[in-house]
Chains A and B, each alone.
Chain A
Amino acid sequence: MSEHCIIIGASHAAAQLVSSLRQEGWEGKISLIGDEPNLPYHRPPLSKAFFVGEKTEDELLIRAADFYDKNNVDLLLGSRVTKIDRDAKKITLEDGAEIAYTKLALTTGARVRKIPFTGCELAGVFYMRDLNDVKQTHKFTGPGKSAVIIGGGYIGLETAASLRKIGMNVIVIEAMERVLQRVTAPEVSAFYTRVHTEEGVDIRTQAGVDAIVGEKHVTGVRLADGTTVPADLVIIGVGVIPNIELAKEAGLTIDNGIAVNEFATTNDPDIVAAGDCTNHYNPIYDRKLRLESVQNATDQAKIAAKSICGKPEAYNALPWFWSDQYDLKLQIAGLSQGFDQVIIRGNSEQGRSFAAFYFSKGRFIAVDAINRPKEFMMSKRALTSGQTADPLKLADESIEIKDVFN
């Protein structure tokens, strides 16, 4: 049988996989199957530039529409894979059709975690993941209207900033003690709380949601303390769950994500996986990770393509991430989880530019750089090469950041 690579899930990892497969010399057929009706598009702008209308749907495309034609890719969009038969090496689509493969790539990503709040079925209640959902929210936005965001993570805060830009009244409800609690130091959380407050957002921490209220359309959110806040729009952003079911039913190893080795290969040598759906070992941090980032989707997809083409190369990229809110450009390099020391360069209590450097047992592990591109770039290089830094020098702004790392 002639070579045929099927890619399941059509998003960031898939778009890179197609490109890398051809770059690595894959001459066989490629089929790209995705259940969303769209060509692979950039998700990050959904809560940022696209939400406020600064980017059009066309501008969201990761690669131009004719890219797939030029690369001889069979596109099956709006189509869901329901089964993988590893013995027969074929997959089944929702409509029962079966397609045979020689190589299979799982780029099924993640879906939003849903919480069955009373009233979650009301019109005007949304999750932020897919383009179609975000397009629907536009019917409920407008200057002077009210929005409640449940969840003070990056996506919730970005959406809050976007809603303020549109001129809406915004309340953010966060269950924990501070926003971004899982991912940043208290100083960084305090900074974001301050800026959002300055921008007119009402942030309520340690607050619970009792119910979403309204008749047909949402009119408010009742909090655990009994008060009800008004809402024309409710956006829930409380994390994601990896899409592993298909892989699990096919007997692939699952371990908080689809388990892959350093070559992005599952326990079936003909099946690779990349992106939000995977769990892999990271040599820089010496632990297993399930990441939710474009960087990981892209870089791991390149590794997966190499494995499919018989040119295996180990994955050892440094995780990095970004978030845009108001005039704040946050760039994160490395993973701060497990830090025991934070060094602030600049002033986090005033103004809108500083960097937080994270250390664990004396070792430099990550940076959150806010309007500090140089600090981000130098840290990314240092973390990639395993270089550490002197905390005292990092805190001293009279020393150029380039000199701190040299």
Chain B
Amino acid sequence: MPLIIYKSHDGNTQEVHAEVGTSIMQAAVDNGIDGILGECGGCCSCATCHCYVDPAWVAKAGEPDSTEKDMLDCVLDPQDTSRLSCQIVITDEMDGIIIAMPKSQY
């Protein structure tokens, strides 16, 4: 199972082994990681799962679709590598991926 490393806004990290096929959001929620809420359950409606993908991993995380892009365009504290974590489906290639959470989600 790929390892996901979650970095909180104050720099703490938590490591989680997650099932391939679930989302970065679901893996966070299943492991009680603070900072990713996932209110809409992953249907791209809430943006309470906003995260920053570590630049080295951006390509592996794939491309956001147009709805996600529009949502990201208007989130608080956007960065170049902003994503909605419910839209990133975990693959074997993501083993070791680093995901940081925005301050506004705490």
Contacts and interface: CB of A to CB of B under 8 A. Distances in A.
Contacts of A374: 70-71, 73-74
A402 interface: yes
Given A19-B32, A67-B31, A381-B76, A373 B67 contact: yes
Interface residues of B, number: 22
B39 interface: yes
Contact of B43 (A70, A322, A377, A378): A322
A42 interface: yes
A324 B43 contact: yes
Contacts of A329: 44-45, 67
Contacts of B34: 23
Nearest to A298: B39
Interface string A320-339: 10101000010100000000
Contact of B41 (A45, A378, A402): A45
Given A63-B29, A63-B30, A377 B41 contact: no
Interface in A140-197: none
B1 interface: no
B47 to A, nearest CB: 6
Interface string B28-57: 011110100101110111110000000000
Contacts of A80: none
Contact of A22 (B30, B32, B44, B47): B32
6 tightest A-B contacts by CB? A377-B74, A322-B45, A373-B70, A64-B30, A42-B41, A373-B71
24 contacts: A22-B32, A42-B41, A44-B40, A44-B41, A48-B43, A62-B41, A63-B30, A64-B26, A67-B30, A295-B39, A320-B46, A322-B40, A322-B46, A324-B43, A373-B74, A374-B70, A374-B71, A374-B74, A377-B70, A377-B71, A377-B73, A377-B75, A381-B74, A402-B74
